[in-house]
Amino acid sequence: MPRLPGPRTAPPDPSPSPPSPPSPGAPGPSGLPDLGGLGPLGRLGRLAHRRRGRVVLLWVAALVGALVLSVTASGEFEADYSVPGSDSRQAQDLLQQRFPAASGDTVDVVVRSEGPVTAPEVRADVAALLAELGGAPHVAAVEDPYAQPGSVSADGRTALGHLRLDVVNPVDVPVEDAEEMLAIAEAAERPGLEVALGGQVVAQAQQGEVGSEAIGLAAATVVLLLVFGSVVAAGLPLLVALGGLAVSGLLTGVVAGLVAVPDWSTSLATMMGIGIGIDYALLMVTRYREWREAGLGSEEAAGATLDTAGRAVVVAGTTVVVSMLGLFAMGLTYMRGAALVTILAVLVVLAASVTLFPALLGYLGRHVDRLRLPLPRRARARAAGHAPSPRWTAWSRTVQRHRVLAAVAGVAALLVLAAPALGLRFGFPDAGNDPVGTSTRTAYDLVADGFGPGANGPLLLAAELGRPGDTAALDPLRAALAATPGVASVTPAQPNPAGDTAVLTVVPTSGPQSSATEDLVHRLRDDVVPAATAGTGALVHVGGVTASAVDSNEDVASRLPLLIGGVVALSVLLLVAAFRSVVVALTAAVMNLLSIAAAYGVVALVLQGGWAGQLVGIDGETPLPAFIPVLMFAVLFGLSMDYEVFLVARMREAWVRTGDNAGSVLAGLAGTARVITAAAAIMVVVFGAFVPSPAVFLKVIGIGLAAAILVDATVVRLLLVPAAMHLLGRANWWMPRWLDRAVPALHVEGRLEVPEPAPAPAPRPEGAPQPA
């Protein structure tokens, strides 16, 4: 029979025995909990509160140390999105080693004329433009469109030149240098002559800064002020989050000096640090106010807070770290770099939550409700109240009464939201997805109009020749490529100076995001190239940006089951140790997967470019890079577990105390709903600050994370989870005996119990004597 833990009633013992000492955390003679049984976190909280000056000085020293390391040991941000061992990566490596002139990044120079682009006056203007661009920083060579076959459109009105840069990674070109190129191109325009620059270097210069972090922090401040109604109470979570974020932010550059870190990962780590730092401190400020209302002094309340809410915070933070560690299973360097800086931010903020927070309580704890806002009376009462809200209590009872309907409605809502995910189209957004009017979008459209859509994503075939100088061996290959359906044109083989390597450029008839182009890449690799090079001794690899994107998406998709399986398994094990229940852990995993699927559906709806996409600045159908769902899964699974821990920890407290499942679910939901909704609101506004970003992938990450948190904290945690727990009853807390012995207990519920407030005394009749 399964063992359902709960309070046991022993038969009365007729023999007299000495009274047993009170259990740790049991109320003492004064009605207050006995703090003699505080765990390590509780003792740490009291120590930090008592030695608050030293703790603050240690954090200042950590900040100074991080600043010194940032100045002396920081590295440059870089990211390699190619797949190790793939055909496109082998082509890239071969070009870098033997054909460096063809391996550097490029800037497209597109000129559109009202008349023939070959007219003498137009040629003179283009020559002057290319000469000036050739003198710009990082420009190693200039390809004249009039000297390159196929660089003038069939209608004679468009010319396409290229600037060969001395860097492979676009982020190595400072924004100021790219802006100088844009200024040169703009100055060369005149009536009847349009000039546009394309390429990743130009795209980075056009993105600019929108201050997403500042927007998110300001919005979170407003939410905290409305939740607490007090400047001091709202300021504590902000101080903790900013203190941890300052240290972790300075150390990000140090991590970049050790491993490859993409530049966008700093935004993700900052948002995660702000969000979870404020969320964790929010939970602990709420619990601290409860302990103070129960009659504890500031130091004792700080210790009790760390011994209860602090345990939940540590478990929640650990689940986030476990989820981010799952990115290492992807085997991609940029994923590892992004995971490391995010884990660093989480760990530092977690350390601030359990040390800096109780130290700040030593200074501000007695004044936590000072500087109240002039809110309406009802809102002020809600902010100041620490007991469960009557409205949330009523909601909890409604879910209990209609648990079947609530469960069905919750699952149906998640499935409806997830449905658009079935039509997700994977790929890398390119300049065709940039806002209309930008230089990169104009260049993309001009090239597509003049040379066909495939000219925006040509394939580079890197050939290692069997005999140096024998480019004639590639003639059969060129003929076979030209005859292949889906190929618009093929350039002659261009050998390197040593004559042992050659490059052929293949222009597809379809655009770089088209599934037809992906099919063409596979057809060339599987059929055309092997048949045409058999017996020639040449080894040919199909590369280029488009082929690299195809390889990257397929590689990430193949590794996704490893990430999901590893993260879910480790998180379930952690929850089993925290809540001593297999059912709670498995239910949490299923709920998290449903909420993540719903987030994918929202992202898919936005990327369709219809009314939903236009609300956030996505005008046309846009593909989704495969690494974004992976990144979203790792982040969201950890954050969803945070809310699960916040909710179920309070249910577990009540269950251990009473053994009443229905009452425990009611008490847990009513007692944490306000905190969960406030924490979710903060996360939504923090991640929502990504949405104004001009970078499509950052915009999509913000939309997905904000939507997932909103769905998770409402449909899942406040409706589906309590409904499921009411349906399962006492089976929620099932734990096999062998597993109970094998898995260490984390006691996330703590060992302390808030005593019930004493009933208010009856009103004294007029003139009655005062009690002695």
Domains of the chain: 43-73+211-387 (1.20.1640.10), 106-198 (3.30.70.1320), 390-426+564-749 (1.20.1640.10)
Could you write out the DSSP letters of every residue in 495-537? Answer: E-TTSSEEEEEEEESS-TT-HHHHHHHHHIIIIIHHHHHTTT-
* pLDDT, tens digit, 9 for 90 and up, residues 342-362: 999 999 999 999 999 999 988
Across residues 553-581, what is the average pLDDT?
81
* pLDDT, tens digit, 9 for 90 and up, residues 32-88: 555 556 778 888 999 999 999 999 999 999 999 999 999 888 887 877 777 888 899
Dist. CA 275–CA 145, nearest whole Å: 51
Residues 6+ apart with CB under 8 A from 400: 662, 665, 666, 722, 726
* pLDDT, tens digit, 9 for 90 and up, residues 187-231: 999 899 999 998 888 887 777 655 666 777 787 788 778 777 778
Dist. CA 474–CA 201, nearest whole Å: 33
Q: Is the per-residue pLDDT at 763 higher than 80? A: no
Chain center to CA of 30: 48
In three-state secondary structure terms, 589 is helix
Dist. CA 199–CA 170, nearest whole Å: 9
Dist. CA 172–CA 77, nearest whole Å: 9
CA–CA–CA angle 536, 538, 544 (5° rounding):
140
**Burial bucket for residue 238 (CB in 10 Å: 0-12, 13-18, 19+):** middle
Across residues 575-598, what is the average pLDDT?
86
For the chain, counts of helices (H) and of strands (E): 28, 9
| pLDDT of res. 150 | 81
**The pair of three-digit structure tokens given for residue 462, joined into one six-digit string:** 């890197």
Q: With pLDDT > 90 as the criterion, what percentage of the chain qualifies?
A: 19
pLDDT class of 513 with cuts at 50, 70, 90: confident
**The pair of three-digit structure tokens given for residue 361, joined into one six-digit string:** 């309580």
Dist. CA 661–CA 6, nearest whole Å: 10
Contact, 261 vs 78, CB < 8 A? Answer: yes
Dist. CA 718–CA 708, nearest whole Å: 14
Q: With pLDDT > 70 as the criterion, what percentage of the chain qualifies?
A: 87
Dist. CA 514–CA 425, nearest whole Å: 10
Dist. CA 135–CA 129, nearest whole Å: 10
- Lowest average pLDDT, out of 29-33, 504-508, 677-681, 725-729, goes to 29-33
Chain center to CA of 234: 25
pLDDT class of 113 with cuts at 50, 70, 90: very high
* pLDDT, tens digit, 9 for 90 and up, residues 488-499: 989 888 888 888
In the chain the first and final C-alpha atoms are separated, in Å, by 57
Contact, 306 vs 42, CB < 8 A? Answer: yes
Q: Is the per-residue pLDDT at 761 higher than 70? A: no
* pLDDT, tens digit, 9 for 90 and up, residues 232-241: 888 888 888 8
Q: Is 617 left (phi over 0), alpha (psi -120 to 50) or beta?
A: left
Contact, 337 vs 259, CB < 8 A? Answer: yes
Q: Which helix (H) or strand (E) holds 753?
A: none
- Lowest average pLDDT, out of 296-305, 363-372, 400-409, 592-601, goes to 363-372
* pLDDT, tens digit, 9 for 90 and up, residues 261-308: 887 788 888 888 888 888 888 888 888 888 888 888 888 888 888 988
| pLDDT of res. 67 | 93
Q: Is 769 left (phi over 0), alpha (psi -120 to 50) or beta?
A: beta
Contact, 613 vs 635, CB < 8 A? Answer: no
Dist. CA 430–CA 444, nearest whole Å: 9
Which of 418, 303, 372, 370 has the alpha carbon at shortest distance from 45?
303
Beta strands at 487-490 and 459-464: parallel, antiparallel or unpaired: unpaired
| pLDDT of res. 30 | 44
In one-letter notation, the amino acid at residue 731 is: A
In one-letter notation, the amino acid at residue 676 is: I
Segment of 50-64, 157-171, 503-517 carrying the highest mean pLDDT? 50-64
Across residues 388-407, what is the average pLDDT?
84
Question: Which pTM was predicted?
Answer: 0.75
Q: Is the per-residue pLDDT at 380 higher than 60? A: no
* pLDDT, tens digit, 9 for 90 and up, residues 443-464: 999 999 989 999 988 898 998 8
Dist. CA 113–CA 122, nearest whole Å: 8
- Per the DSSP assignment, residues forming a β-bridge with 108 are 162, 198
Residues 6+ apart with CB under 8 A from 678: 223, 224, 227, 282
Contact, 162 vs 133, CB < 8 A? Answer: no
Dist. CA 579–CA 419, nearest whole Å: 33
Dist. CA 422–CA 400, nearest whole Å: 33
**What single-letter DSSP state applies at residue 37?**
G
Contact, 390 vs 382, CB < 8 A? Answer: no
Tokens 């903060």 correspond to 682
Supply the mean pLDDT for the chain: 81
Which of 666, 658, 661, 31 has the alpha carbon at shortest distance from 388?
666
Dist. CA 322–CA 318, nearest whole Å: 6
| pLDDT of res. 241 | 86
Note the helical H segments in 608-660: 611-615, 627-658
| pLDDT of res. 374 | 62
Torsions phi, psi of 219, nearest 5?
-65, -40
| pLDDT of res. 352 | 93
Contact, 299 vs 43, CB < 8 A? Answer: no
Q: Is the per-residue pLDDT at 379 higher than 70? A: no
**What single-letter DSSP state applies at residue 713?**
I
Across residues 152-177, what is the average pLDDT?
84
Question: CA quadruple 430, 432, 437, 443: dihedral positive or negative?
Answer: positive
Beta strands at 106-113 and 158-165: parallel, antiparallel or unpaired: antiparallel
CA distances 295 to 131, 232, 358, 668, 718, Å, are 79, 20, 18, 22, 30
**Half-sphere exposure (CA, 13 Å, Cβ side) for 392?**
23
Dist. CA 663–CA 400, nearest whole Å: 10
Contact, 24 vs 36, CB < 8 A? Answer: yes
| pLDDT of res. 750 | 55
Dist. CA 689–CA 498, nearest whole Å: 52
Torsions phi, psi of 16, nearest 5?
-70, 150
Residues 6+ apart with CB under 8 A from 643: 676, 679, 680, 712, 713, 716, 717
Q: Is the per-residue pLDDT at 131 higher than 80? A: yes
pLDDT class of 767 with cuts at 50, 70, 90: very low
**What single-letter DSSP state applies at residue 542?**
E
Count Cβ atoms below 10 Å from residue 721 Cβ, excluding itself. Answer: 27
**The pair of three-digit structure tokens given for residue 123, joined into one six-digit string:** 């040629």
Count Cβ atoms below 10 Å from residue 132 Cβ, excluding itself. Answer: 15
